[in-house]
A and B are shown apart, each in its own frame.
Chain A
């Protein structure tokens, strides 16, 4: 079955530490890949997306993600986490090519310790 897996339900990091959130997908072809962030009471905000080309993509708020075809992964990274980064992060894929019929993972809740 086609799916998106985020293996870590909760992650806690100290402010200033580096962060990596994992995302794996199981599709035959390379889908369009996205990372969204959701703060309490807020809608989803797009952090970054990968369609093709350079496998390291830069996003907003200092986030980046690397697409690794051999591992079917699209992990999100940030070199130094800020307390305001505490939120839920969702990886998503789209096979339709339009970027607007998304299949989401179950999310990773990030807690930042001061």
Chain B
């Protein structure tokens, strides 16, 4: 059991809307990473947060933004939704440092119509 939870499990939005996805990290973990997994693809790294600051970003536009809170929960915000944003969004938590295992949540499936 990973202990990483995400909400909601499923979400339907329309193009142009904004969405907020939430993640609760495993107890004791201070780093959270977000990934986008399109249908039939592997997950793609969006960004990572450590101590409430962005700590690395993948090839995603600024309309993808995030927050990490003092209790290490996290949000992924996506503005101006596009059809291609339809995907499974995964968060993963870990302890910063070398060789720490990253634990993934079950994901939020977002459908943009």
A interface, CB within 8 angstroms of B: 4, 32, 36, 41-46, 49, 51, 90, 92, 96-107
Residue of A nearest to B2 (CB): A43
Q: Which residues of A contact B24 (CB under 8 A)?
A: none
- Give the interface size class of chain B: 20 to 34
Q: Can you identify 11 A-B contacts, CB atoms within 8 angstroms?
A: A4-B42, A32-B99, A36-B104, A42-B106, A43-B90, A44-B104, A51-B98, A98-B94, A99-B102, A100-B31, A104-B42
Q: A interface, by DSSP: helix, strand, loop or mixed?
A: loop
Interface residue SS majority, chain B = loop
Q: How far is the CA of A31 from the CA of B104 in the complex (A)?
A: 21
Contact (Cβ within 8 A) B45 A101: yes
- Other A-B pairs beyond A44-B90, A99-B98, 6, CB < 8 Å: A42-B106, A43-B2, A44-B43, A101-B45, A104-B42, A104-B44
